[in-house]
Structure 1
């Protein structure tokens, strides 16, 4: 079995107010086969900087019900060092979701690369602030293109 690229993300929420609003999108992406959710860990850092973490299997009641659709086959691979590293980036009185996701959409591409004799050399994610700069550039380019098309149509 070929494993798709793995991505981890730490998504923070001020004031320890994790509402679970993103669960629907995670569930939809999982159901479409775009991703496989390997692990999800919830982290809370109180106003004193004390950290607690919860695997999905630790949840009960409404919390367990809310996460149920995405928590089915989690592997629980995160270690205490992962929690410590993620929490070190959080301000006090903040919560976070630590996600490990397999990009299943990329499995055929990965297999094609390997079958062609390609060897992964380096990879990574672009930092959020760089993504914002690129988004702004794409938006400006699209706005310029739209203006040019409007002038041609006149």
Structure 2
């Protein structure tokens, strides 16, 4: 697996274990557009009785399996165990590891200039909205 851009792990909780087809369609669109490269994906569900089920993308519906291809091995059973402990019965979590392929050119330019990425943080939209509200109040 050759990675040329930043990689991110995304965890999304679904309180009622409802995965929608629109999610897969959007991931396919982003991948086909060259925006992301899906490296690995799995879904974890905690049943009402506390038992845990999980599914790797390679074992899922054909469109999802095609999107991920051969799983990278970045997500494994120990990840499932770590997430499942905190999961509410009846809920599910989708785990997605993807490469920000849109940043490949920028990453190359930074490396060629002698730079190296030392940190990358995703700022939640709610935090941006809160900050914008504070700035608006100060104006």
Provide the TM-score with structure 2 as the length reference: 0.81
Match of 2:95 among 91, 95, 98: 98
Q: How does 1:132-151 map to 2 (within 5 A)?
A: 132-138=126-132
Asked if 2 retains the 8 angstrom alpha-carbon contact of 1:42 and 1:55, the reply is yes
Q: Decide which moves more: 50-59 or 7-16.
A: 50-59
Q: Mark the runs of 5 or more structure 2 residues left unpaired by the alignment.
A: none
Question: Residues 110 and 103 from structure 1, CA distance in 2 versus in 1: closer, same or farther, beyond 3 angstroms?
Answer: same
Q: How does 1:51-66 map to 2 (within 5 A)?
A: 51-59=52-60, 64-66=61-63
Question: Max radius of gyration: which structure?
Answer: 1
Question: Residues 68 and 123 from structure 1, CA distance in 2 versus in 1: closer, same or farther, beyond 3 angstroms?
Answer: closer
Q: Mark the runs of 5 or more structure 1 residues left unpaired by the alignment.
A: 143-154
Counterparts of 1:134 and 1:74, CA distance in 2: 34
Question: SS state of the match for residue 119, structure 2?
Answer: coil
How far apart are residue 71 of structure 1 and its match? Answer: 3.3
Provide the TM-score with structure 1 as the length reference: 0.74
Greater fraction of residues in helix = 1
Deviations 1:67-102 (A, max 9, x none): 245233542431212112232342211112110000
Q: How many residues align?
A: 136
Asked if 1 retains the 8 angstrom alpha-carbon contact of 2:58 and 2:65, the reply is no
